[in-house]
Amino acid sequence: MERVAIIGASMTQFGQREDEWILDLLAEGGLACLDDSGVDAADVEHLYVSNMASGEFEGQTGVPNALAHDLDAVPAYTQRIDQTSSSGGAGIYAAWQSVASGASDMTLLVGGEKMTHRTTGEATDIIASLTHPAEYKTGVTLPSFAGLTARHYLEKYDAPRESLAKVAVKNHENGVDNPNAQFQKEIDEETALESPIVANPLRLYDFCPITDGSAALMLCPESVAEEYTDEYVVVSGIDGATDTHVVHEREDPTVMGGVVESGKGAYEMSGRDPDDIDVAELHDMFTILEFLQMEGLGFAEQGEAWKLVEEGHTERDGELPINTSGGLKSKGHPLGASGVAQGVEIYEQLVGEAGPRQVDADVGLCCNVGGFGNCVITTIMEAAQ
């Protein structure tokens, strides 16, 4: 089967986009990706939109059809992909399937969400509606799962509280060099450690913000990619997997089964192993999640990710730079956009367009986490040259 290539990428400014609604954001990201890839809208065969909840946030549904109109891409086939906070990764998987199956020779994937017109409480409640009804009814939200898991992790593996703050400090430092990041400012460890408690032991700086924005990727068969450019990326491995939907049923809350299973699938498909990965974007919605993904993906032994972070292993000049984009922590987390934006960062790293964030990389990985690991998509990309 022919390999699936990515020939263009874009992301909008992430942050509080007061003057734009979801359709404006999607159109901005989509147009920029058409421009970046040199593809004419009329040549787009499938247009996929990763979006969790435009209906809940804005009362607007049917956004993929509206986007086809706004991009002048009619009669391109459209659909919306929702996999909660991993809708973007699910979109990459769906777009990959559309090309690999032969259904489409040119698929534009645009992920986006408009959230900041809602209060943090409202947004948190919309997101919490993805949890199991049995847990949702008790008032459990994703931040509370994160707090409970962080406490358990720190105790079980005798990890210092400071190691979590170091994740936030690193990702904020990377975000400074990302002009599209929501927060382009450094923070120090003290600031993180003294910020207000949200879900003990996690504090404000352990959490990603509420964000508006979109991101986009253009996928096609490798033979078509070669008509457009010499510098493209191939998706060499991709897989997704669920874990127990009821979080409290997990045997060991410090192991995310969806991360482990999707990682296994992606490694197997690509013929790669963790040592081959040069750069990774992990889903740091909460700092603790960066540890869990490092361990689940085999970048660290179980219970030892915090040591690698303390040693600087995952910094931009370390052995395995993680979240060079700034991660969800500083770049922001517009639900449907986030997984796509992870792909945008890895694409830019692999084709050498990451500017001041550039690292030396031929193989990259994205891990996008839905809910509290309820479903996870892992993607491995490689420079074609």
Tell me how far, at minimum, the Cβ of 232 lies from a second copy, in Å: 19
Selected binder of a second copy within 109, 130, 322, 337 (CB under 8 A):
130
When asked if residue 367 is in the footprint of a second copy (CB under 8 A), the reply is no
CA proximity to 214, closest of 337, 31, 331, 115: 337
Q: Which residues of 345-365 are buried (b: 16+ CB within 10 A; e: fewer)?
A: bbbbbbbeebeebeeebebbb
Q: Name the helix (H) or strand (E) containing 11.
A: strand 4-11
When asked if residue 263 is in the footprint of a second copy (CB under 8 A), the reply is no
Selected binder of a second copy within 212, 261, 290, 348 (CB under 8 A):
261
When asked if residue 197 is in the footprint of a second copy (CB under 8 A), the reply is no
Q: Which is nearer to a second copy, 195 or 244 (CB)?
A: 244
When asked if residue 124 is in the footprint of a second copy (CB under 8 A), the reply is no
As given in the structure block, the two tokens for residue 287 are: 């700092």
279 SS3 class: strand
Cα 71 to Cα 48: distance, rounded to the nearest angstrom: 13
Tell me how far, at minimum, the Cβ of 243 lies from a second copy, in Å: 6
- Amino acid letter, residue 213: G
Give the position of tokens 């809208």: 41
Tell me how far, at minimum, the Cβ of 204 lies from a second copy, in Å: 25
When asked if residue 96 is in the footprint of a second copy (CB under 8 A), the reply is yes
Selected binder of a second copy within 10, 12, 37, 83 (CB under 8 A):
83
Tell me how far, at minimum, the Cβ of 255 lies from a second copy, in Å: 13
Selected binder of a second copy within 13, 16, 43, 100 (CB under 8 A):
100
Handedness of CA 209, 301, 140, 93 (dihedral sign): positive
With a CB cutoff of 8 Å and minimum separation 6, the contacts of 110 are: 26, 29, 30, 33, 47, 48, 49, 50, 67, 214, 215, 216, 340
Stretch that binds a second copy, among 143-151, 279-287, 347-355, 369-377 (CB under 8 A): 369-377
Tell me how far, at minimum, the Cβ of 182 lies from a second copy, in Å: 23
Selected binder of a second copy within 147, 221, 258, 339 (CB under 8 A):
258
Tell me how far, at minimum, the Cβ of 311 lies from a second copy, in Å: 32
Phi then psi for residue 229, to 5 deg, are -160, 160
Q: Which is nearer to a second copy, 47 or 181 (CB)?
A: 47
Contact 344, 109 (CB under 8 A): no
* Cβ atoms < 10 Å from Cβ of 188: 11
Cα 311 to Cα 15: distance, rounded to the nearest angstrom: 31
Per-residue contact string for residues 28-57; x = within reach of a second copy by CB under 8 A = -------------------x----xx-xx-
Q: What's the distance, CA 32 to chain centroid? A: 19
Q: What's the distance, CA 78 to chain centroid? A: 22
Contact residues toward a second copy (CB under 8 A) are 1, 23, 47, 52-53, 55-56, 59-62, 64-66, 68-69, 73-84, 90, 93-94, 96-103, 126, 129-133, 238-246, 257-258, 261-262, 370-371, 374-375, 377
